């Protein structure tokens, strides 16, 4: 399946993902943010974080969000998960306004937060103990073992988290986030604390999981190579209070490998994204560096 993505100012035509000027889908997006504005209450008064942010994500698509530190990326994940309600605007799932936490949302973070007193498979099974479902114990374990096998943890099901490396614990965390087949998967810098080699290995694993599970995914990251490799749609947020400053589509296909990042189209996209980040940081104005 080739999901479609949404862009600002690109006209009304449609074309496949990755082709020049990839455009609008006729279907209703699975996730919609419409004019979302949010501020935190502080002792010194309101702290504006998001300003009139609009963003669409189609079912099965993978969207990566990048931007300067503190621009509201993690706030965006909490709004989509229903953990926060925007001051103005709406977050919609299947056209329905999100006003409370959703069990159909899975989340994985930079810190895997696995429970040491539970085995790896018991950690992965945790959402199925919380989210209502009709699966038998055998079916639950089969689902967990299937995911663990997909990420290379077959044979480690009965180990404790302390017996695994950081990369292995993060793989288990991804399995836990996906075990209940969520409609939406939110990844908040899940690979940020890993070394470069482990990170690239997990990119390939995450892409394989995404292609098999077809889950609508939102990734928050500071790694531009990561977002180009994993995402269909890349959104650059402006400085705080943030709005969608720039959107682009990854040119990589379904059979992507990390080496594809060094081909001309991804290299050009990385240069453009770096330029957009500089603008968001206030380091460039009208195409000229700020001194």
Domains belonging to the chain, first-starting first, are 1-104+185-191+215-291 (3.40.50.300), 106-182 (no CATH)
Band of pLDDT at residue 26, cut at 50, 70 and 90: low
pLDDT at 134: 86
Band of pLDDT at residue 12, cut at 50, 70 and 90: very low
Q: What's the pTM value of the predicted model, to 2 decimals? A: 0.83
* Residue 250: burial class (beta carbons within 10 Å; 0-12, 13-18, 19+): buried
pLDDT at 20 over 70: no
pLDDT at 44 over 80: yes
Q: Do the Cβ atoms of 176 and 126 come closer than 8 Å?
A: yes
List alpha helices for the chain, DSSP H: 73-81, 120-130, 137-150, 166-178, 196-213, 224-230, 264-280
From first CA to last CA, the distance across the chain in angstroms is 46
Cα separation, 98 vs 86, whole angstroms: 10
Cα separation, 258 vs 17, whole angstroms: 19
pLDDT at 6 over 80: no
**Residue 139 token pair:** 């079916």
């Amino acid at each position: 399946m080739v999901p479609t993505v949404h862009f600002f100012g690109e006209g009304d035509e449609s074309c496949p993902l990755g082709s020049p000027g990839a455009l609008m889908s006729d279907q209703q997006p699975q996730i919609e943010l419409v004019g979302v504005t949010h501020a935190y209450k502080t002792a010194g008064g309101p702290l504006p974080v998001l300003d009139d942010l609009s963003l669409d994500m189609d079912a099965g698509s993978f969207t990566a969000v990048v931007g300067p530190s503190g621009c509201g990326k993690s706030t965006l994940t909490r709004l989509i998960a229903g953990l926060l309600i925007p001051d103005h605007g709406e977050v919609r799932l299947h056209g329905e306004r999100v006003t409370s936490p959703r069990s159909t949302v899975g989340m994985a973070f930079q810190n895997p937060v696995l429970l040491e007193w539970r085995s790896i498979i018991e950690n992965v099974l945790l959402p199925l103990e919380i989210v209502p479902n009709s699966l038998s114990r055998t079916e639950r374990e089969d689902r967990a073992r299937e995911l663990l096998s997909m990420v290379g943890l077959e044979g480690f099901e009965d180990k404790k988290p302390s017996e695994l490396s950081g990369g292995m614990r993060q793989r288990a965390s991804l399995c836990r986030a996906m075990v209940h087949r969520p409609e939406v998967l939110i990844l908040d810098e899940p690979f940020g604390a890993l070394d470069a080699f482990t990170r690239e290995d997990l990119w390939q694993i995450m892409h394989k999981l995404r292609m098999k599970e077809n889950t609508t995914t939102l990734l928050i990251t500071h790694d531009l190579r990561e977002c180009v490799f994993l995402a269909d749609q890349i959104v650059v947020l402006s400085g705080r209070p943030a709005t969608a400053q720039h959107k682009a589509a990854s040119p990589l296909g379904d059979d992507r490998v990390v080496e594809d990042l060094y081909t001309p189209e991804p290299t050009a996209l990385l240069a453009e994204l770096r330029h957009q980040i500089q603008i968001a940081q206030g380091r460039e104005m009208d195409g000229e560096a700020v001194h």
